[in-house]
Chain A
């Protein structure tokens, strides 16, 4: 059964009907409508007439002009000649032609500028976060350890035929048998020294030295005072006299390792009454309960 279609619905489909773009069901329904509706039929005929007029104009032009046909015949050779010439032409001309179409010039410039700004910002952020605070303990240890690792222990050769290995989680670090390196001999309240040393398989300390920090290198001249030299000698004596149990490798054997110690002494000041105050009532001695009398 063909569904009934009103003029209002039919008008929305007339153009698609003329252009052959209607679904089959709609086409059947519309054709049925056009059989009895003269108004819609007249609309279709008008649009078909318009289409015919446009095509006729095209055909009149297409078949009518001999000179056009002659010109079209030469178009092929003209185009090929130009294509050939274009392929042979110099690079500067090709480069100029690449900029013929400038529709995307401003978007392209904007995108390029945005990219440059992003790269610049990334570089600034990277540089700002890379170094961190040069005075921080992490940076001091890192720079000292790097400096120590770059030094080849020439004086180690007579002691052992093995170079020191890098200390990692598989190696048990050497343990001090006495008090170890310390700053007892230094009279000042505040002192920080970084010491590099090699603890051999026999437990001896070799190739020891006090490492200059980057900050200290900058002011090395100012530091070369008699007092400073005495302090360094005292630290080195402390290191030299220390005795160690050698580092244990993964297989249990003794290995030679290079160590970097940061020896620091600092003073913390606080009020005495705060320290003297009992931390908890539980620590205050209470009298023992008396035994009950019977």
Chain B
């Protein structure tokens, strides 16, 4: 089994190391730079996992507070970005547990998504022709994605949206690389089954 924490120290370049050092020393400009460099990525991942803009924003703030609280413990076993991903995943998981305790659904419907962020048709320029051939195809995939178990959805988002390698996903989720592969396989099989169901 390949170790999830086997990413080398070279993942942290000197510029990033200097930024981390300044942040831990209490330099507010460095802290601002760190937030600016990663806030879009943090918010995007939180949104993709939670499916709710307000919750994602709230979690993003918690993530950065956590980052600054624990930055002195960062040992460079991964890139700073991967380390932050790990915190995002943990924070989102905690938030979902909190939701479940209050019997709140963690699935956001496409209608709600469109109400918040506009109709997909309005974003025609970012959609490839084949996907646009059927709006129903896209919506069915998104719905199926929201129904995936949290662990599978997280692995798929980290791979497809954030472009993380298997090793980085393993570190972010604190699991083995083999587990990452099996989760991706199961997630893709579920979504493909949805896709095949649409075909005549």
Query: What is the interface of chain A, defined by CB distance below 8 A to chain B?
Result: 15-16, 19, 21, 43, 46-47, 49-65, 68, 71-72, 75-76, 78-80, 82-84, 86-87
- The main secondary structure of chain B at its interface with chain A is helix
Query: Taking CB as reference atom, which chain B residue is nearest A62?
Result: B44
Find chain A residues with CB under 8 A from B1 CB. none
How many residues of B are in contact with the other chain, CB < 8 A?
52
Given contacts A60-B118, A71-B57, is CB(A84)–CB(B40) below 8 Å? no
Asked if B131 contacts A52 (CB within 8 A), the reply is yes
Find chain B residues with CB under 8 A from A53 CB. 131, 137-138, 141-142
Given contacts A52-B131, A56-B131, is CB(A75)–CB(B61) below 8 Å? yes
Given contacts A64-B118, A75-B57, A75-B60, is CB(A50)–CB(B188) below 8 Å? yes
Q: How far is the CA of A46 from the CA of B138 in the complex (A)?
A: 12
Q: How far is the CA of A287 from the CA of B153 in the complex (A)?
A: 112
Asked if B138 contacts A56 (CB within 8 A), the reply is yes
Given contacts A21-B166, A60-B123, A87-B26, is CB(A46)–CB(B192) below 8 Å? yes
Asked if A80 contacts B32 (CB within 8 A), the reply is yes
How far in angstroms is the closest Cβ of chain B from A127?
41
Asked if B65 contacts A68 (CB within 8 A), the reply is no
- The main secondary structure of chain A at its interface with chain B is helix
Choice from B35, B60, B117 contacting A64 with Cβ under 8 Å: B117
Q: How far is the CA of A68 from the CA of B118 in the complex (A)?
A: 12
Interface assignment of B53: CB less than 8 Å from any CB of chain A: yes
Choice from B35, B47, B68, B196 contacting A75 with Cβ under 8 Å: B35
How far in angstroms is the closest Cβ of chain A from B134?
11
Most chain A Cβ neighbours within 10 Å, of B32, B137, B159, B160: B160
- Write the B23-66 contact mask toward A (1 if CB under 8 angstroms, else 0): 00010100110011001100110011000010001001100110
Find chain B residues with CB under 8 A from A51 CB. 160
Q: How far is the CA of A78 from the CA of B26 in the complex (A)?
A: 17
Query: Taking CB as reference atom, which chain A residue is nearest B190?
Result: A50
- Write the B139-150 contact mask toward A (1 if CB under 8 angstroms, else 0): 001100100000
List 20 extra interface pairs beyond A53-B138, A76-B32, CB under 8 A. A47-B192, A51-B160, A52-B128, A52-B131, A54-B161, A55-B160, A56-B138, A57-B48, A57-B113, A59-B123, A59-B126, A60-B126, A61-B47, A65-B118, A68-B117, A72-B43, A75-B35, A75-B61, A86-B68, A86-B69
